[in-house]
């Protein structure tokens, strides 16, 4: 299947710091999605991106769909303790295809007080 390279694998940051993580793919995607997973729960959609170059914000979160359509990044500003969790990127090849959602391996975020 497709491969998504997500980095970093883990991050330890101080409360109040900004965070950046990214995903790259060897293939072109038409949709990029960012999810957050709390321990023992299912992932929850944070941001969806549908056009190359698109920059979208959701509160303190900002994500961008890369111009090449092979990458995306997620920024979190002014981190707080509840930002702790695993963040996943996901790419979809075509909106009409039911199965073509590929996930990155996740970024484990720890926020230190």
Partner 1 sequence: DGGITQSPKYLFRKEGQNVTLSCEQNLNHDAMYWYRQDPGQGLRLIYYSQIVNDFQKGDIAEGYSVSREKKESFPLTVTSAQKNPTAFYLCATVGWTGKGYTFGSGTRLTVV
Q: Footprint of partner 1 on this chain (CB under 8 A)?
A: 1, 4, 6, 9, 31, 33, 35, 40-45, 48, 88, 90, 92, 95-96, 98-99, 101, 103-106
Our CB check for partner 1 shows the closer of 75 and 105 to be 105
> Structure tokens of 60?
């303190």
- The conformation of residue 111, written as its DSSP 8-state character, comes to E
Our CB check for partner 1 shows the closer of 73 and 87 to be 87
Rg (CA), the chain: 13
Q: At its nearest, how many Å lie between partner 1 and the CB of residue 8?
A: 13
Q: At its nearest, how many Å lie between partner 1 and the CB of residue 29?
A: 13
Q: At its nearest, how many Å lie between partner 1 and the CB of residue 78?
A: 25
DSSP 25-93: ESS--SEEEEEEE-TTS--EEEEEE-STT-EEEETTEEEEE-TTSSEEEEEE-S--GGG-EEEEEEEES
Our CB check for partner 1 shows the closer of 15 and 110 to be 110
């Amino acid at each position: 299947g497709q491969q998504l390279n997500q980095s970093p694998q883990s991050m330890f940051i101080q409360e109040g710091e900004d965070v950046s993580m990214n995903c790259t793919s060897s293939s072109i995607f038409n949709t990029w999605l960012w999810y957050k997973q709390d321990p023992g729960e299912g992932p929850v959609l944070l941001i969806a991106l549908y056009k190359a170059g698109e920059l979208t914000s959701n509160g303190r979160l900002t994500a961008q769909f890369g111009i090449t359509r092979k990458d995306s990044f997620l920024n979190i500003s002014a981190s707080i303790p509840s930002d702790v969790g695993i963040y996943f990127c996901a790419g979809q090849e075509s909106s009409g295809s039911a199965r073509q959602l590929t996930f990155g391996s996740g970024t484990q975020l720890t926020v230190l007080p």
